[in-house]
């Protein structure tokens, strides 16, 4: 009887151990920007879709480098990320956008911890990616679709000048422009954070090209004070002083008032990156997961801007109209 009882107890103990929930795997999420930034909100929404019901312990760090653009701030946040990695010892790390990759990711190459990145506009090879423990998702703006949409609603456009801030996002897209064969004549291209130079460039463009591509305008600085510009003030100046049709690669630019754009939302980056991370946690080798380059894009037109420019808005369900 005693032997039977002992065996029963051992059996019950074994069941308890087998049923005990597995410890959650710790994931560190390092975002280049602040949580209120629309793009980051979309990236987080994509993560939530993939990570729902997964046994994960998520840790977040927001570098906030859209609102704080100095080199010292970026390095300070990178140091914070490295201290956080040392403290929590994550099972995997996700890096979002260029600054996280540049200032944090390059310190992780060749380490045991797997790393998955997304939202990178620059050539990832510049950061040493991919690597034996690093893979991810590269952001490529649908430039041809942007320009084709512009010419669909403004067929007289044959040439375009391109302007951007000097952020990693803007520089990365500018590099993509230089490597892409476009079916439109490209005039001048300017990448600067000096708003005074923006004004001069856009003023001169009125007489030299048919349209304007506004790539990124979130890190501009006031020429006199050197302080960061309110992005909406930048757009308001463009809307008051530019008479050319505009195109842009971000939906917020069209919502802010520019004519049109084609936009790949943050989910298009974070969802495949999150799926890659789950594969790695399941045993996949990061080195054997090729980089991904999502395609597609949502076409958008701002009706109020179109009416001001005398452009007819096509009534089709395939294009999102911002009223």
Q: In the predicted model, what is the mean pLDDT of the chain?
A: 91
At 1 the pLDDT is 46
Residues 173 and 315 reside in one and the same domain = yes
Residues 63 and 185 reside in one and the same domain = no
Domain range spanning residue 316? 143-263+298-322
Residues 253 and 273 reside in one and the same domain = no
Q: Which two tokens stand for residue 133?
A: 């423990």
Residues 152 and 76 reside in one and the same domain = no
Whether 17 shows a pLDDT value over 50: the answer reads no
Whether 18 shows a pLDDT value over 50: the answer reads no
Q: Residue 235 domain-assigned? A: yes
At 5 the pLDDT is 57
Q: Tokens 């109020």 sit at which residue? A: 304
Indicate the burial class of 21 (C-beta count within 10 angstroms; 0-12, 13-18, 19 or more).
exposed
Residues 68 and 161 reside in one and the same domain = no
Q: Residue 119 domain-assigned? A: yes
Average pLDDT over residues 249-257: 93
64 confidence band (pLDDT: 50, 70, 90) = very high
Of the chain, the percentage scoring pLDDT greater than 70 comes to: 93
Residues 186 and 217 reside in one and the same domain = yes
Single pTM value for the model: 0.79
At 178-235, the pLDDT tens digits run 788 888 899 999 999 999 999 999 999 999 999 999 998 988 988 888 788 899 999 9
Q: Terminal CA-to-CA distance of the chain, rounded, Å?
A: 81
Residues 150 and 251 reside in one and the same domain = yes
Rounded to the nearest 10 degrees, how much is the dihedral formed by the CA atoms of 72, 77, 79, 82? -160
Residues 273 and 219 reside in one and the same domain = no
Whether the ω angle into residue 130 lies within 30 degrees of 0, i.e. cis, is yes
At 141 the pLDDT is 84
Q: Residue 16 domain-assigned? A: no
Question: For residue 193, what are the contacts with CB-CB under 8 A and spacing of at least 6?
Answer: 69, 165, 166, 167, 219, 220, 221
Q: Are the beta carbons of 256 and 235 closer than 8 angstroms?
A: yes
**H-helix or E-strand spanning residue 272:** helix 267-281
Q: Residue 54 domain-assigned? A: yes
Q: Are the beta carbons of 109 and 134 closer than 8 angstroms?
A: yes
Look up the CATH number of the domain holding residue 277: 3.40.50.2300
Residues 167 and 243 reside in one and the same domain = yes
At 61 the pLDDT is 98
Q: Which one has a higher pLDDT value, 144 or 101?
A: 101
* Ranges 16-25, 36-45, 183-192, 212-221: which has the least confidence: 16-25
Number of domains in the chain: 2
Average pLDDT over residues 87-97: 98
Q: Residue 279 domain-assigned? A: yes
Residues 273 and 257 reside in one and the same domain = no
Residues 244 and 125 reside in one and the same domain = no
Q: Residue 3 domain-assigned? A: no
Residues in the chain, how many? 323
Q: Residue 307 domain-assigned? A: yes
Residues 241 and 254 reside in one and the same domain = yes
What's the sign of the alpha-carbon dihedral 143, 50, 45, 234? negative
Q: Residue 212 domain-assigned? A: yes
Distances (CA, A) of 73 to 76, 94, 97: 5, 20, 16
């Amino acid at each position: 009887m005693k032997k039977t009882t002992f065996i029963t107890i051992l059996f019950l103990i074994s069941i308890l151990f087998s049923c005990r929930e597995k410890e959650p795997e710790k994931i560190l999420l390092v975002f280049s920007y602040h949580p209120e930034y629309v793009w980051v909100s979309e990236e987080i929404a994509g993560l939530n879709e993939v990570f729902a019901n997964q046994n994960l312990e998520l840790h977040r760090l927001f570098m906030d480098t859209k609102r704080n653009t100095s080199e010292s701030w970026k390095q300070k946040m990178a140091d914070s990320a490295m201290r956080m990695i040392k403290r929590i010892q994550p099972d995997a790390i996700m890096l979002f956008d260029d600054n996280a990759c540049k200032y944090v990711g390059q310190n992780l190459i060749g380490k045991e911890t797997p790393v998955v990145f997304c939202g990178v506009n620059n050539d990832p090879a510049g950061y040493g990616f991919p690597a034996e423990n690093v893979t991810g998702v590269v952001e490529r703006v649908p430039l041809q679709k942007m320009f084709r949409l512009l010419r669909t609603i403004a067929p007289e456009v044959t040439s375009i000048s391109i302007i951007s801030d000097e952020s990693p996002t803007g520089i990365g897209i500018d590099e993509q422009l230089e490597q892409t064969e476009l079916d439109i004549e490209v005039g001048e291209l300017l990448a600067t954070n000096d708003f005074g130079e923006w004004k001069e460039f856009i003023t001169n463009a009125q007489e030299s090209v048919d349209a304007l591509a506004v790539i990124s305008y979130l890190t501009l600085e006031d020429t006199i004070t050197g302080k960061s510009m309110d992005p909406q003030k930048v757009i308001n100046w463009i809307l008051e002083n530019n008479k050319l049709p505009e195109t842009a690669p971000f939906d917020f630019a069209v919502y802010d008032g520019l004519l049109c754009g084609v936009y790949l939302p943050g989910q298009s980056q974070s969802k495949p990156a999150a799926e890659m991370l789950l594969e790695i946690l399941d045993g996949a080798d990061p080195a054997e997961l090729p980089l991904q380059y999502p395609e597609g894009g949502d076409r958008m037109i701002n009706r109020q801007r179109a009416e001001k420019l005398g452009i007819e808005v096509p009534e089709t369900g395939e294009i999102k109209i911002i009223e």
